[in-house]
Amino acid sequence: MFVKNPEYFLAIVKERSISKAADRLYLSQPYLSQYLAKLEANLGVTLLDRSHTPLRLTAAGELFHAYLERQGYLDRQLESDLQQLQEKKRQQLHIGVSTWRGSTLLPDILPRFAAKYPDVQVVLHEAPVPQLGNLAASSVTDFCLMHTPGNLTDLSYELVMHERILLISHKDHPLVRGLDSPCSAPLPFGDLRQLEHERLMMLPEDWRLSRLLYNTFNVQNVEPVNILTTTNNTTAINLVAENMGFTFLPESGIHRTPYMDRLSFFTVGDPPLTCPMAVVYKKNSFLSPATRAFIALIKDFYRQFDRGSALSDP
C-alpha cells in the first residue's frame, strides 16, 4: 500500500495536534487538515478522535500508525541490507543478552547457527538485565533474551520457557549436609525461614528475578538479614562453591559451572518457583530469516528446561 507523505501523519501523532505538527513541518494548518481529511477518505476510516484535546488515535488510527512505523523500519532495513550487499559486507545480527546468560547459552547455540549461516556476523550486546529492554526498544538489537518485560509500550515478546529458579548451596553446609540433591533431580528445600540469618548472594532488588524472590520471601514471612548484592551470577555461584552462603539461579545456566561436584540444588516453593524467559524485540519490527533461525535454535535448546507455568512472575 502506497501512502503519500507518511511523515505528515506521524508528525500529527507525535505532536497530538494538527497545528503543532504543521509548525514542525513548516506547513499551513489548513493544508495539513486537508491532507488528513483526504487520507481518512481514501482509507475509509477515521484515524483521529477530534473530540479530545490533545488528539487521540482511534482503533483504526492505532493500526495505521503501527503500519507506518513498521513500514519505515522495513524501508531503512532494506536500504541498509542493500548497501551492505553492495559494499560486500556481512549481514549482522545484533543480540542483547546478560553477561551470564550469554556465557551459558551461546557456546551451545552459536556453533550451530554459524554452520547454517556462515555469512551472518553475530554482534553481542551484553548488558545488565534492566537495560536489555531499552536496547530492544531503541532498535540497537534485533532481539534480546531476557525475562518478560514489565513495560510493553514499545516491545513485543515471544515466550521461550518458564524456567525453574533453584536454591544453590555448598554440599558441606550444615543445613544440607548429607542430602543427595543434584541439579538433575533437585529436592524441595522446605522452609525458607532457615535462611534468614544465612548469607544470601542476590541480584539487585529491582531486577526481575530478585523481585520475584523478594515476593516469595514476603509470602513465606522470611526476612533475610545478611544479603550480599551482586550483578554477576558467576560471582554468586563462585562464592557458594567456597561455602560462603546461598544463592538463587535460573536452572538453564547452571550446567556450565565448573563446581557441580561441590554444590547441592533445591527447588523453591510448592509448586516450584519459575520465571518466564522470552525473546524481546521492538514492536512491529521486521525479523530477518537469520534472526528467526537464531530464535528457533534458542527455543529448541531451552525446551529441555521448560517447566510450564506452575508458579511464575505475572
Helix axes 29-43, 18-25, angle to 10 degrees: 110
Q: How far apart are the first and last CA of the chain?
A: 38
Q: Mark out the alpha helices in the chain (DSSP H runs).
A: 6-15, 18-25, 29-43, 59-86, 99-116, 129-137, 208-219, 233-241, 289-302
Can you give the pLDDT at residue 285? 82
Can you give the pLDDT at residue 1? 60
95 and 123 Cβ atoms separated by less than 8 Å: yes
β-pair partners for 277: 147, 161
Predicted structure pTM score:
0.70
Can you give the pLDDT at residue 312? 47
Domains and CATH numbers, the chain: 6-84 (1.10.10.10), 89-161+275-305 (3.40.190.10), 163-273 (3.40.190.10)
Can you give the pLDDT at residue 87? 63
Cis peptide before 271 (omega within 30 of 0): yes
DSSP strand pairing (187-188 vs 91-97): unpaired
Per-position pLDDT tens, the chain of length 314: 667 888 888 888 889 899 998 898 888 989 889 988 998 898 889 988 888 888 889 988 888 888 887 776 667 666 766 766 666 567 889 999 998 999 999 999 999 999 999 989 999 999 988 889 999 998 899 999 998 888 888 899 999 999 999 999 999 999 999 999 999 999 999 899 999 999 999 999 988 899 999 999 999 999 999 999 999 999 999 999 999 999 999 999 898 898 999 999 999 998 999 999 999 999 888 888 899 999 999 999 999 998 875 444 44
DSSP letters spanning 239-285: HHHTTS-EEEEEGGGGGG-TTGGGEEEEE-TTTTPEEEEEEEEETT-
Q: CA angle, corner 298, sides to 94 and 276, nearest 5? A: 100
